[in-house]
């Protein structure tokens, strides 16, 4: 039993690591992609280009505009002279927002009357527009707060809002995205590489020769899976090292727990990929199937869109998505320092997925040719 | 032929790949309308030469031309005059026959006006009209090759370069393919064809023999044979298996093999050889001199490694000797949906027997072998291999058999010794035992010095030897070989059969399928299979005697193809077909037909030599298939 498995393992590892292209795919691409994507993928809105249309041209409007500019969220690109000009700049995408101060703003404020400031935002990127509005309103209310006494003579504000974010004090999105991308890379590499593992031999024709030997079904399946499991763990380790070196992300929880959840995650992907591989006739078929699976897996994982916002039926559907549990448990360990007890639901689901897919794959694989 | 034009020329053309000189200063001149055959062992440089002629590969030095235009400088222009058909399947499997041709017509800018008629003409000409709307992927091997040829012909090229076009095609389809080539040649098309089938080489107007990148000799097939100076001594003994090793010791440098009921010895001095044989062989022997065949010339190209005797003696090392029946089946049937691939096959094969499975592509040979190996579960019927039931105990069977599939079974990206270790490992060998068998496998495949090379570097014949060594690394007593010699050159094929004979001599059952009819002569017993049915079985001798009611008249004549049509209209004539360089006429009334044939040729004042002969295995095969087709219709 062990002899045959050993022969199979040696062969698989040699085949995988001998080909320079394969080495690049297995080890190089995940690390490069992780580096690039971690920098690129961020929802923090910074340096939004805005234009100011100031009909008042007073020291107050100047002060507010200056406050915006120095917040770091906005960058005043230009000063417009008319609404038409603002419209033009929004149309051609030069700016994504505009602030309009009506004439007499300063006078109204000094008189204690209410002055209106108009914020115009490009609504095509709905998310950005929302952020622009909320940033603006917080800047304005901060201004109000600071100048309350000077302007109205009243010293106290009725309610003051103070916020503190747990786990990620500075609300720095990399603490969310970097581990997220790591889980996504684990998904992509495990599924894509393994899905062609068996079907490749079918296409070349070598499988016929192997199936006529006394090698057992499980030896064959394990021989096909284990190399990808090993490389999966290695790439994950490399990615975590980069996360530490380039993004200052330290694993808060125990390395053992992290190892456990990553392994379970990889195993469930490998089982699924083997299932695809043994059901396909050509590498093309297998890869296409894998691609179709990758998309819903990552979209429904909760990484890109919060699961709580999804309609109930789809929320139940996400239970079947191994990446959901992988994402929750891996980010949980890295960022929150969660342990096995906190992650028991996720771990149970992952064990379920891994067992189900692997058993199903070995059940589906037959040593005959039909 | 004083003012002939050269359609294809090559001048000192050379190409190296790294250290290897693939083509070494080759000079050629092929006349318009000629069918020129390029023959030589695997890796001789035939494909490289053709690709350079076609302008697909730039030579290191020298030049070539097609219809007076340089392949080197005008390779874009020569494409209008030329068509090249590679060994690889270049058709779109999902398109129909018509759509494939149409695609090539569009690619070559064939004018739309006559395209439809032209394509229909080609379809008629190749008898492919009924399959017009069939998808290319669903065609049989022979029809695929024909379709590929039609696609190459659609722009009416003047020169055709065909690289082993009939590789893996059964004799019936090959005859048909050559009929087309002859017709094209008659229309003035120049054809350069490389082939591993030497009976095809004999049909060419001239041939060139290539080895190690050089052309060794050029001429008509008969002049090449005459000039070689090779003589063949043919010996009939009472026990050929036993005597062959004796003869091999007597003539250590000659190529010796069993052919039919005789042992053939390649020698330069027949008198001396026959004397030596008379002195040393006991019992009743009958020594005759035979005319050498192209295959004998071919064999003399490659000096046999001196250790072949040793090689053959070690083939069966470690095999457990068994007796009785090894493979038994009763009404073994396999259906795929509505299609019956194998219909009620009955077999009883003994240990120590070479059992041949003959049939055209798609007849059900591979399906039967796969069922016997436990790769396919039979739809109905029973069978046992090595005492284990094929439906209930396929995994047990797998421990006791060796199987070499038709498909490539080695990992190209592994080194040679790694392939051996892998197969050894999954058969459960380890440590010293594995080491011993590894050395054995390297010796058997002749790759001892190259064991650390990547398998992808091996040429055809070597790969097949390595694949065979890997498939019998665990010393099985039953071996299934599915077309093991397909595409290999004649020398590798012969060595392969020597190995098979040695295995059988030690009590191993060798179950082998082939579509080379002459290889059937090496088998102890044969089964012919057609459309899933067993249509004949017996020893090679029985097949020729029992199943052939018709007699065969062999006609040696120049330009045989020109007479086929008229001869087949003769009364009492059942079939006329190309055979080697001449014709074989099949008839139930030999005397009167022979008479008529002689009259026919003397009326035309053409010199022809006709005589009644014993049918060859190919004649038997074709006639049986004809009968089966008539019965089906």
What are A59's strand-pairing partners?
none
Residue of B402, B422, B429, B481 best to disrupt the A interface, most CBs of A under 10 A? B422
Per residue in B530-573, pLDDT tens?
889 999 999 988 888 888 888 899 998 887 878 888 888 888 88
Residues lower than pLDDT 50 in chain B? 1-3, 305-307
Nearest to A184 by CA among A63, A326, A68, A51: A326
Q: What local confidence, expressed as pLDDT, does residue B310 receive?
A: 67
Q: What local confidence, expressed as pLDDT, does residue B107 receive?
A: 85
Residues in chain B closer than 8 A to A212 (CB atoms):
373-375, 398, 401, 403, 405
Cα atoms found within 13 Å of the Cα of residue B552, Cβ hemisphere only: 22
- Of A190 and A147, more confident: A190
> Which residue of B lies nearest to A204 if distances are taken between CA atoms?
B408
ipTM for this model? 0.75
Quick one: tokens of A70?
A: 């120095």
C-alpha B54/C-alpha B310 separation (Å) is: 44
Give yes or no for residue A198 having a pLDDT over 70. Answer: yes
Q: What local confidence, expressed as pLDDT, does residue A44 receive?
A: 67
Among A11, A208, A214, the residue with its CB nearest the CB of B414 is A11
C-alpha A85/C-alpha A98 separation (Å) is: 11
Per residue in B291-323, pLDDT tens?
888 888 877 776 554 446 667 777 777 777 788
Residue of B425, B437, B438 best to disrupt the A interface, most CBs of A under 10 A? B425
C-alpha B344/C-alpha B326 separation (Å) is: 19
C-alpha B504/C-alpha B353 separation (Å) is: 6
Per residue in B218-262, pLDDT tens?
998 888 888 888 888 888 887 777 777 788 788 877 778 777 677
- The alpha helices in B448-607, defined as continuous H runs, are 460-471, 490-505, 540-546, 564-568, 590-603
Residues in chain B closer than 8 A to A368 (CB atoms):
374-377, 394
Q: What local confidence, expressed as pLDDT, does residue B463 receive?
A: 86
C-alpha A120/C-alpha A27 separation (Å) is: 47
Residues in chain B closer than 8 A to A7 (CB atoms):
421-422, 424-426
DSSP code string of A211-259:
HTSS--HHHHHHHHHHHHHHHHHHHHHHHHHHHHHHH-----S-HHHHH
Q: What local confidence, expressed as pLDDT, does residue B3 receive?
A: 41
The values of phi and psi at residue B5, to 5°, are -105, 140
CB of B564 within 8 A of CB of B576? yes
* Domains parsed from chain A with CATH numbers: 2-41+172-369 (no CATH), 48-152 (3.40.1710.10)
Provide the pLDDT confidence category of residue A65 given band limits of 50, 70 and 90: confident
Per residue in A306-355, pLDDT tens?
899 899 999 999 999 999 999 999 999 998 899 999 999 999 999 999 99
**CB within 8 A of B146, min separation 6: which ones?**
B126, B128, B173, B176, B177, B180
- Tokens 């009819």 correspond to what residue? B517
Q: What local confidence, expressed as pLDDT, does residue B441 receive?
A: 92
Distance from the Cα of A332 to chain B's closest Cα (Å) equals: 42
CA torsion B92→B94→B96→B98, rounded to 10°?
-30
> Which residue of B lies nearest to A220 if distances are taken between CA atoms?
B426
Residues in chain B closer than 8 A to A367 (CB atoms):
374-375, 394-395, 398
Whole-structure pTM value:
0.80
Average pLDDT of chain A is 87
């Amino acid at each position: 039993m062990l002899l045959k498995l050993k022969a199979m393992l040696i062969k698989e590892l040699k085949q995988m690591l001998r080909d320079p292209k394969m080495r690049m795919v297995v080890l190089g691409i995940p690390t490069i992609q992780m580096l690039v994507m971690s920098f690129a993928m961020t929802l923090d809105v910074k340096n939004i280009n805005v234009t100011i249309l100031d009909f008042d041209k007073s020291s107050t409007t100047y002060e507010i505009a200056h406050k915006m500019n120095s917040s770091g969220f906005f960058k005043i690109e230009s000063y417009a002279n008319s609404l038409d000009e603002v419209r033009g700049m929004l149309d051609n995408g030069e700016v994504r927002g505009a602030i309009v101060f009506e004439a007499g703003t300063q006078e109204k404020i000094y008189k204690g009357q209410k002055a209106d400031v108009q914020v115009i935002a490009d609504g095509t990127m709905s998310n950005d527009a929302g952020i622009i509005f909320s940033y603006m309103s917080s800047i304005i209310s901060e201004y109000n707060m600071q100048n309350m006494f000077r302007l109205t003579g009243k010293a106290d504000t009725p309610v003051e809002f103070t916020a503190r974010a747990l786990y990620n004090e500075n609300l720095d999105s990399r603490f969310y995205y970097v581990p997220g991308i790591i889980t996504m890379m684990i998904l992509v590499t495990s599924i894509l590489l393994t899905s062609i593992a068996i079907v490749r031999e079918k296409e070349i024709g070598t499988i016929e020769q192997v199936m006529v030997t006394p090698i057992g079904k499980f030896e064959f399946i394990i021989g096909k899976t284990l190399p990808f499991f090993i490389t999966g763990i290695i790439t994950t380790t490399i990615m975590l090292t980069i996360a530490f070196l380039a993004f200052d992300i330290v694993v808060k929880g125990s390395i053992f727990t992290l190892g456990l959840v990553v392994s379970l995650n990889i195993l469930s992907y490998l089982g699924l990929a083997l299932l695809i591989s043994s059901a396909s006739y050509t590498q093309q078929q297998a890869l296409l199937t894998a691609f179709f699976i990758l998309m819903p897996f990552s979209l429904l994982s909760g990484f890109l869109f919060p699961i709580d916002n999804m309609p109930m039926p789809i929320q139940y559907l996400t239970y079947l998505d191994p990446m959901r549990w992988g994402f929750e448990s891996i980010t949980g360990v890295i960022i929150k320092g969660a342990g096995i007890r906190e992650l028991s639901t996720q771990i149970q689901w992952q064990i379920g997925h891994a067992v189900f897919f692997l058993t199903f794959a070995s059940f589906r694989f037959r040593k005959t040719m039909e | 032929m004083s003012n002939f034009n050269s359609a294809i020329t090559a001048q000192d053309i050379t190409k190296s790949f790294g250290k290897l000189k693939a083509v070494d200063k080759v000079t050629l001149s092929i006349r318009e309308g000629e069918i020129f055959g390029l023959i030589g062992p695997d890796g001789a440089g035939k494909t490289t030469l053709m690709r350079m002629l076609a302008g697909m590969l730039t030579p290191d030095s020298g030049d070539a031309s097609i219809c007076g235009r340089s392949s080197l400088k005008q390779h874009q222009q020569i494409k209008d005059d030329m068509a090249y058909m590679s060994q690889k399947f270049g058709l779109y499997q999902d398109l129909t026959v018509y759509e494939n041709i149409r695609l090539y017509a569009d690619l070559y800018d064939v004018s739309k006006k006559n395209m439809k008629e032209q394509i229909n003409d080609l379809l008629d000409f190749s008898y492919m009209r009924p399959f017009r709307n069939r998808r290319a992927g669903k065609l049989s091997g022979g029809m695929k090759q024909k379709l590929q040829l039609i696609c190459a012909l659609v722009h009416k090229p003047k020169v055709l370069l065909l690289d082993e076009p009939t590789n893996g095609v059964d004799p019936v389809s090959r005859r048909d393919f050559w009929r087309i080539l002859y017709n094209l040649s008659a229309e003035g098309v120049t054809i350069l064809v490389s082939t591993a089938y030497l009976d095809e080489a004999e049909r060419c107007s001239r041939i060139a023999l290539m080895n190690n990148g050089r052309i060794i000799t050029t001429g008509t097939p008969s002049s090449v044979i005459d000039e070689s100076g090779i003589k063949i001594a043919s010996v009939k003994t009472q026990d050929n298996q036993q005597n062959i090793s004796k003869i091999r010791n007597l003539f250590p440098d000659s190529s010796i093999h069993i052919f039919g009921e005789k042992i053939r010895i390649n020698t330069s001095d027949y008198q001396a050889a026959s004397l030596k044989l008379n002195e040393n062989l006991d019992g009743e022997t009958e020594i005759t001199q035979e005319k050498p065949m192209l295959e004998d010339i071919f064999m003399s190209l490659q000096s046999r490694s001196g250790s072949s005797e040793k090689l053959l003696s070690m083939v069966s090392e470690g095999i457990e000797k068994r007796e009785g029946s090894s493979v038994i089946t009763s009404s073994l049937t396999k259906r795929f949906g509505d299609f019956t691939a194998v219909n009620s096959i009955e077999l009883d094969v003994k240990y120590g027997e070479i059992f041949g499975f003959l049939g055209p592509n798609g007849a059900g040979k591979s399906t039967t072998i796969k069922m016997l190996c436990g790769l396919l579960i039979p739809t109905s019927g029973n069978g046992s291999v090595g005492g284990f039931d094929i439906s209930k105990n396929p995994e047990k069977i797998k421990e006791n058999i060796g199987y070499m599939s038709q498909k490539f079974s080695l990992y190209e990206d592994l080194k040679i010794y790694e392939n051996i270790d892998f197969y050894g490992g999954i058969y459960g060998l380890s440590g010293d035992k594995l080491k011993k068998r590894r050395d054995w496998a390297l010796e058997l495949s002749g790759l001892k010095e190259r064991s650390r090379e990547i398998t992808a570097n091996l040429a055809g014949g070597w790969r097949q030897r390595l694949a065979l060594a890997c498939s019998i690394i665990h010393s099985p007593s039953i071996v299934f070989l599915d077309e093991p010699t397909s595409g290999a050159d004649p020398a590798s094929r012969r060595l392969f059969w020597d190995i098979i004979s040695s295995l059988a001599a030690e009590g191993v059952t060798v179950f082998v399928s082939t579509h080379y009819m002459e290889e059937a002569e090496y088998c102890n017993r044969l089964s012919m299979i057609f459309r899933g049915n067993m249509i004949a079985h017996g020893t090679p001798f029985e097949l020729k005697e029992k199943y052939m009611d018709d007699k065969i008249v062999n006609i040696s004549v120049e330009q045989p193809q020109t007479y086929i049509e008229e001869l087949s209209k003769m009364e009492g004539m059942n079939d006329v077909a190309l055979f080697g360089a001449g014709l074989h006429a099949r008839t139930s009334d030999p005397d009167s037909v022979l008479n008529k044939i002689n009259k026919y040729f003397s009326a035309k004042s053409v010199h022809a030599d006709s005589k009644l002969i014993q049918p060859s295995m190919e004649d038997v095969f074709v006639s049986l298939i004809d009968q089966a087709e008539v019965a089906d219709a």
